[in-house]
Amino acid sequence: MNGLPADNPRPPAPRRWRWMGPGLALVVLGGTGLYALVHPRSPSSPAPTETRAPPSPTAPQATRAPTPRPAAPTAQATSPKAAVPTDDAEQKTRREAARQSARQYRAGRFNAFFRKEVFVEELARDGASRIDGLRSELADPTALQQLPADARFMENKPEPVLERMAMIDLLFELAPNEPAARDAMTSLALSPIDSGLSDPVKKGLVGEKYDLLFRLAQVDRQLAVDTYTRLDNPRLKSLLREALMAGLAESGASPAEVQRMTAHL
């Protein structure tokens, strides 16, 4: 099938690979059956019903009236239900911060006075909080569900696609020094795609997985190979092989090293 790498290792890819990851994946996608790329989401199994033992016929029945409880104090602890909105609000704040960072990063790339190293250093100060926001935002396909049925990804990429690509860029920039960023890239690359999503959303998600694996290979070669090995969809695995090979070449690995690391695949 078009888009799959040749048997012989490729020479190191030029720098233009950096912004072409999702696009190349979608070119190959155009000739495939999209529904074969995803696993249908298995229905959630119902929670087991708790079986209670019947009361023993010999058990004595309580005859005394219950002892009256003291009046509850005026200041009461916050109930678990009251804490949930706080958690939700914190998660929303993290996700909004992730979107804002992605927009600033995108705008900065076209600004001669933008210093990427300083921006990434400031981003890293938020640590796990900012990485969690990026992971949560990318794990939620809601933004892609706004795409029209005839959305095109190769030319004039839609705004939600560009914003999510910038989020992957930020994970990539943080990954060399932040294990949590590498973990986020791995989990997003391996996450299943819901077969009930529309075709544009599926195409967008496959393109993102292509980009994630391509970038991960540049940061941690062995982790990228291990992540690729764990993919359980043969059709998706065939498509993402191109991303792995290109990422390894972009990382500076020699053709012999690429061949050695991928000989078992």
pLDDT (average), residues 92-117: 89
Residue 61 CB burial class (10 angstroms; 0-12, 13-18, ≥19): exposed
What pLDDT does 37 receive?
52
Distance between CA 133 and CA 110 in Å, rounded? 24
pTM of the model: 0.69
Q: Are 227 and 186 in contact (CB under 8 A)?
A: yes
Q: Average pLDDT of the chain?
A: 76
- Predicted confidence (pLDDT) at residue 183 exceeds the cutoff of 60: yes
3-state secondary structure of 62: coil
The identity of residue 3, as a single letter, is G
What pLDDT does 32 receive?
44
Identify the CA nearest to 165 among candidates 16, 34, 26, 21.
21
